[in-house]
Amino acid sequence: MQIGIVGLGKMGGNISVRLTRHGHDVVAYDRDPAVTAKICGQGEGGRCTPATGLADMVGKLSGRRIIWLMLPAGEVTEQAVQELGGLMGKGDIIIDGGNSFYKDDIRRAAELVKKGIDYVDVGTSGGVWGLERGYCMMYGGTKEATDHIDPILSALAPGIGDIPRTPNRDRPGFDPRAEQGYLHCGPAGSGHFVKMVHNGIEYGIMQAFAEGFDVMKSKNSTDLPEDQRFELNMADIAEVWRRGSVVSSWLLDLSASALAGNPDLSNYKGDVADSGEGRWTIEAAIEEAVPVPVITASLFTRFRSRTGNNFAEKMLSAMRFGFGGHIEGTNN
């Protein structure tokens, strides 16, 4: 298939290259022409064509035009959707693969359908590792539009890999695409809603790891009786937990890697940003009257980290950098 990709940063660029590796043709655009040229140079088989702007991209796409936005949530994405809404026509598809607020998706879909344009929101997880590992995707939109772009989503998904199959999933009623790492969640907005809650859960898991390691690191505190002090090796503990423990996970893998490289994490300040999904998850929980004390506490800890921090916050920074290349002090 042919698809346009707008925004060639850490994820958008890798999405473009991965699609060319799976035989799809990409028209790529980034506001920095040098980035566009770099990504197109990395595309395989000459399948990546540069565009100079949105109008140029639309002109280079043929048939039922599909454009995937991989831009920061908020005004930048909003402007791009509005501009494309004026350039594209009936049957065309706009995909937002960033982290937009799900209520914005619902509004955009309602506006675009009046012009016959389909809107699909794709919550995309995979960070900087997606080029090789693939992306876990949760998406919303009409069945017709999402079925049409299935070859794109299938190429980006990680596939079943070596993960053991879940018992009883051979029964009717389950979507087989979930095992491949991508899932149609429902109408427009549902994909980003599920991804939003995913990120809220991520906050809580990361916070639990960070606090636990901080407790262990502080076990040699002079505030404790001398016979109760332990000098524990954080890197070795993270490593042994990776091997068969019930808390083994990718986040633990990233923690182990960071600790092995620098056990005191002195290369991190611990100023932990939040990109919005944690806040939105809490807002949704309030609307639904659902208690979410763990996610709420983890978000508030990120706020506090920016006014002074400890080893726990450095652990959070290390994990965020590990999975997403997030730099301290920014939301990206």
The catalytic site residues sit at 195, 202
The answer to whether the beta carbons of residues 14 and 130 sit under 8 Å apart is: yes
Residue 176 to residues 23, 179, 185, 204: CA-CA distances in angstroms?
23, 6, 13, 29
Q: What is the distance between the alpha carbons of residues 118 and 109, in angstroms, rounded to a whole number?
A: 7
Distance CA 89, CA 116 (A): 7
Residue with structure tokens 């806040």? 279
Contacts by 72-80, CB closer than 8 A, 24 or more apart: 72/98, 72/331, 72/332, 73/98, 73/99, 73/100, 73/101, 73/275, 73/276, 74/100, 78/104, 80/6, 80/54
d(CA 116, CA 91): 6
Beta strands in 126-221, from DSSP E residues, in sequence order:
136-140, 182-186
Site of tokens 């140029």: 56
| CA distance linking residue 10 with residue 326, whole number of Å | 10
Dig out the tokens for 316 from the structure.
């959070």
- d(C-alpha 57, C-alpha 53), whole Å: 6
Q: Quick one: which of 98, 75, 16 has its CA closest to 49?
A: 16
Name the phi and psi angles at 62, rounded to 5: -120, 165
